[in-house]
Amino acid sequence: MPEHIGIVACSAEGAALCYRTICVEGAELLGPHAHPEVSMHTHSLSTYMKRIYRDDWQGVAELMLDSANKLARIGARFLICPDNTIHQALPHIERLPLPWLHIADAVAARAIERGFHRLGLLGTRWLVEGDVYPQKLKSYGLDHLCPNAAEREEINRIIMEELVYGIFKPEAVACHQRVIRRMKDEGCDAVILGCTEIPLIMNDSNSPLPTLDSTRLLARAALRRSVQGVAAP
């Protein structure tokens, strides 16, 4: 049997995309309508944001651990979190109850597979100013470039005031395209969609650079982990 996947969720749109990807693409590995057992737990986004706004990453870690423990108790075999930003709190968790697939590992591994070398990084301002991706990318021998200060603030505003509410505007697409185009001009050969909501408006068809969709890449890594040892249909 495929292993039970536990999703430590944060924002609704990104978590829904991750869940949907697991369920839809599971059929390709397991047969019509089939997918692994999936459970999700999330605290209110406002509960997370109160801690993030006051830079309380220990508090964020406590919320994540609470979700992880609940998922472990109902039978999940390993954990994923379709939220790049709160991965910053992982070092504050002394011991997780289950194995954890790190979203940046899934992204970096795919970048290596596709032969990319210098990656633009898009996400919330906490993500692009934090250590979640720089450390992982360096360990894979990858270089990266972040948005400048003005770009960070506008992308952060779009994410927190629009995308997490399911609001998708042409102006938001245009903003991301401008930033990605600058990154291309500065030598990037791909861009990480490092917020799980950004893939809702950006993809390979409208991006000046090839995209690395962190949400779907994590979901696919979870699928592969789940079905290891399961015979194909």
Considering the domain architecture, whether residues 25 and 88 belong to the same structural domain is answered as yes
- 128/142 same-domain check: yes
For residues 67 and 138, membership in a common domain is answered with: no
Residues 113-143 as b or e (16 or more Cβ within 10 Å = b): eeebebbbbbbbbbbbebebbbebbeeeebe
Domain containing residue 15: CATH number: 3.40.50.1860
Write down the pLDDT at residue 230. 60
d(C-alpha 198, C-alpha 223), whole Å:
21
pLDDT by residue (tens digit) across 125-183? Answer: 999 999 999 989 999 999 999 999 999 999 999 999 999 999 999 999 999 999 999 99
198 — pLDDT class (breaks 50, 70, 90): very high
In a domain, 117, yes or no: yes
Same domain, 111 and 193: yes
Q: Let me know whether 91 and 129 are in one domain.
A: no
Q: Distance between CA atoms of 202 and 199, rounded to whole angstroms?
A: 5
Q: Could you tell me if 88 and 28 lie in one domain? A: yes
32 with 118, same domain? no
Structural domain count of the chain: 2
Instruction: Work out the percent of the chain whose per-residue pLDDT is above 70.
Output: 98
Would you place residue 232 in the very low, low, confident or very high pLDDT band (cuts 50, 70, 90)?
Answer: low
Name the residue range of residue 42's domain: 5-103+217-227
- The answer to whether residue 233 sits within a structural domain is no
Please determine, for residue 229, whether its predicted confidence score (pLDDT) is greater than 80: no
Average pLDDT rounded to a whole number, residues 61-73: 98
Mean pLDDT for 78-86 is 96
Q: Average pLDDT in the 75-103 region?
A: 96
Report the run of H or E that residue 94 belongs to, with start and end: none
Q: Is residue 232 part of a domain?
A: no
- In this structure, the number of other CB atoms found within 10 A of the CB of residue 192 comes to 32
Q: Which two tokens stand for residue 95?
A: 């011991």
Q: Examine residue 208 and state whether it is found in any structural domain, yes or no.
A: yes
113 plus 197 within the same structural domain: yes
Token pair recorded at residue 183:
């990154």
Same domain, 73 and 118: no
